[in-house]
Structures are given as structure tokens and as C-alpha cells.
Amino acid sequence: MDEPKEVTVTISERSFNLDLPIDDEKLMACVFFGLKQYVKNGSSIKVRQAYKTFSGTQEIVTKVISRTEQLAEWGKETKRIISALRKL
């Protein structure tokens, strides 16, 4: 059995946030799979993704995802961002 992974859950009056280890691709894939099922069942999601760029500025991207193909593309973009951040 693998070592337990740290997952931080923050709950406020308007949100439920999951913080996952950036190096755990398997755990992130499980979250993306859950979102894929949600979208596949006919629901849309609005994603707000924030990250720091190479120059140190904050980048915020908002996307509305209503098709599984869009979710797959967002997953690929997210992997590219994570890969770039690991190199910093």
C-alpha cells in the first residue's frame, strides 16, 4: 500500500476547496475523472485557475466547460502549467 497522500480541505460559507500535492498526478487524475463524469452527465462547470507565471505575475484564467473534450484540453493545459512550475 502506498503512503497516504496529504489532501487539505478548506470549507467556507461559499466554497469547498481541495489542495492536492502537485506531484501526485494519479490523485489529480482522479479529480479530473470525477469532473469528467459530472460534465458527461450534462452539467457545465466554470473553472477559475490561478497560477504564477515565469515572470512572477499572477495569471487567472476562467473557462466554462460543458463538453468532455474541453475538460480533456483543460487537463492537458494544467499538466503543462504544472510541468513548467516544477522547473522553477
Quote the pLDDT of residue 57: 87
Could you tell me if 19 and 10 are in contact, meaning their C-beta atoms sit under 8 angstroms apart?
A: yes
Cell of 3: 503512503
Per-residue pLDDT tens digits for 17-63 = 999 998 899 999 999 999 999 999 999 999 999 988 778 889 999 99
- What's the CA gap between 76 and 57, in Å, rounded? 22
* Domains of the chain, residue spans: 25-86
